[in-house]
Amino acid sequence: MVEVSITHHSQLAVATAHLEMPEAGSLLPAPEAVLLPARPPDAHKGTFGTAVVLAGSLGLTGAAYLCSTSAARTGAGLVRLLVADAIYPILAAKCTEVMATPVPEVAPGAVGHAAYDSILRQMEGAEVGIVGPG
């Protein structure tokens, strides 16, 4: 909760604020609410769906990495990260949980119309498509 007070004296106004932090437990869901269900012992990554992430650009590879890794860690079975040719080496070295895949670029680090067919092929069979981080 934030309490704000403004006091006026002559031509001077003084504002003060008091911030009262709630207990951490009231901000977060109960631990049992965020647990993923148990997976069958015979399951594989194809059992839990495919997510395709089209992301990243020069200087913004972290967004692509974080987005695709988050998809994998929150339950997507197979995650394919589509990136421009110029940044593929960076993300291929960084990503161990997801499959980084280069697509044609229209300028260094920029995916455009040249990648259209490649992106459509990679999207076939995917349950989720994520476009734009980075």
Residue at 116 is within a domain: yes
Residue at 107 is within a domain: yes
Residue at 39 is within a domain: no
pLDDT > 90? residue 54: yes
Q: Give yes or no for a contact between 54 and 132, defined as CB atoms under 8 angstroms apart.
A: yes
Among 53, 51, 105, residue whose Cα is nearest residue 76: 51
Residue at 112 is within a domain: yes
Residue at 115 is within a domain: yes
Residue at 17 is within a domain: no
Q: What is the pLDDT of residues 75-117, one digit of tens each?
A: 898 999 999 999 999 999 999 999 999 999 988 888 888 889 9
pLDDT score at 24: 66
Task: Show the tokens assigned to 69.
Answer: 């890794």
Q: Which long-range contacts (CB under 8 A, 24 or more apart) does 8-12 make?
A: none
Number of structural domains, the chain? Answer: 1
Quote the CA–CA distance of 37 and 113 in Å, as a whole number: 40
Residue at 29 is within a domain: no
Residue at 94 is within a domain: yes
* % the chain with pLDDT above 70: 90
| Rg of the chain in Å (alpha carbons) | 23
pTM: 0.71
Q: What is the domain range of residue 61?
A: 46-131
Task: Show the tokens assigned to 84.
Answer: 């421009």
Q: What is the pLDDT of residues 62-71, one digit of tens each?
A: 999 999 999 9
